[in-house]
Amino acid sequence: MSSIGKLVKLTVWGESHGKMIGAVLEGIEPGLKIDYDKLRAHMKRRAPGKNNTTTRKESDEVEFISGIMNDTTTGAPISFVIKNSDHHSKDYSNIYNTPRPSHADYPATIRFNGFNDINGSGHFSGRLTAVINVAGFICEEILRKHDIHVFSHLRSLGDIEDKKFDDLCYNDYYDIRKKEIEVIDDSVIEKINQKIDFLKKEKDSIGSSVEIAVYNLRAGVGDTLFDSIESRLAQAYFGIGAVKSVEFGLGRDFKNSRASDVNDCYYMQGKVVKTKTNNNGGILGGISNGMPIISTVYFKPPASIAITQDTVDLSTKQNTTLTIEGRHDPSIGIRAVSVMESITALIIYDLLKEYGWKITEQK
């Protein structure tokens, strides 16, 4: 079952080249007014068709089936669909017996006895992140009512790096969402566009990363061991296609660090407990400490490239080669920014409903 969440539960269904994709979102409080203009703007952030992404064009218009009345949530499960229109299944006619390198084609064929839909990667497709964006938008609107803010940005594309989020206190990063490429430092946008143009000419792709920040989450949210904030977020993050690594705070940079250099020491700011640094990304023992939650996810290069690669023919059991056709992203991070923000908002809202909204009121 393609579901995640406890009290706030999202179930995703559909395939890339099916008639539509959709989801059911449970546990949403009643009385939230849906601002459709804001929803469309949010969906546009991950939509295909931009200069530096795949040329597939989808309107991503959301049709709510249940749980919304008079544009307002009723408290009942919210179900919705997004119709697919610009799918070219013929682009995949040459891969039914020749699995694409670094795609799920081969293991999925074994797992589902060859009955899986391979067109556009079927249920494994990044197309399904569109419905995650819808769910995340709703959760993020609720969080904002409680002065909790979730932001994300393209942290890196290849060797090009953006600035990092402020990890000590809240900053308003909402203007990032209006940019051609969602970065903090505008000076890297042209470099990224040039890199994308170069990759298109080379018929290749490149890896990327997205950084996510959650501001104003109260201390005391989360649990130990397998139900920690890291565990819950990481499970959700790895449900997004092509995510191969997740870090919180300094992450892998801890490996060569001494505790005397990276321990987050406490101090009092008025009557509120703060830390002088936030190397642990706002989480200790799996529980929020009141500082910003900072995480970074890393995406492998999109596996669909137009360079001829080695593979096998499953029908003849012979070695062969494959040249992939169709329209594909040269890098995932650009369109994944809003997706990572959305899935984070869903998990944080789920955690808050589980542990209570009124835990230690501190900012």
Q: Is the pLDDT of residue 33 over 90?
A: yes
Residue percentage of the chain with pLDDT more than 90: 75
CA angle 83, 88, 92 (to 5 degrees): 125
Phi, psi angles (nearest 5°) of residue 345 = -60, -40
Band of pLDDT at residue 166, cut at 50, 70 and 90:
very high
Provide the pLDDT for residue 111: 86
Provide the pLDDT for residue 186: 98
Structure confidence by residue, pLDDT tens digits, 230-240: 999 999 999 99
Q: Is the pLDDT of residue 362 over 50?
A: no
Structure confidence by residue, pLDDT tens digits, 64-76: 999 999 999 999 9
Q: Work out the mean pLDDT of the chain and round it to a whole number.
A: 90
Q: Please state which of the ranges 80-89, 190-199, 318-327 shows the lowest mean pLDDT.
A: 80-89
For residues 108 and 136, the model is more confident at 136
Provide the pLDDT for residue 241: 86
Q: What is the mean pLDDT of residues 187-216?
A: 96
Cα 94 off chain centre by: 30
All structural domains of the chain, each given as residue ranges with its CATH number in brackets, are 3-355 (3.60.150.10)
For residues 200 and 86, the model is more confident at 200
pTM for this model (two decimals): 0.91
Q: What is the mean pLDDT of residues 286-312?
A: 95
Give me the torsion for CA of 307, 157, 137, 359, rounded to 10°.
Answer: 140
For residues 247 and 355, the model is more confident at 247
d(CA 61, CA 193) in angstroms, rounded, equals: 27
Q: Is the pLDDT of residue 329 over 90?
A: no
For residues 103 and 266, the model is more confident at 266
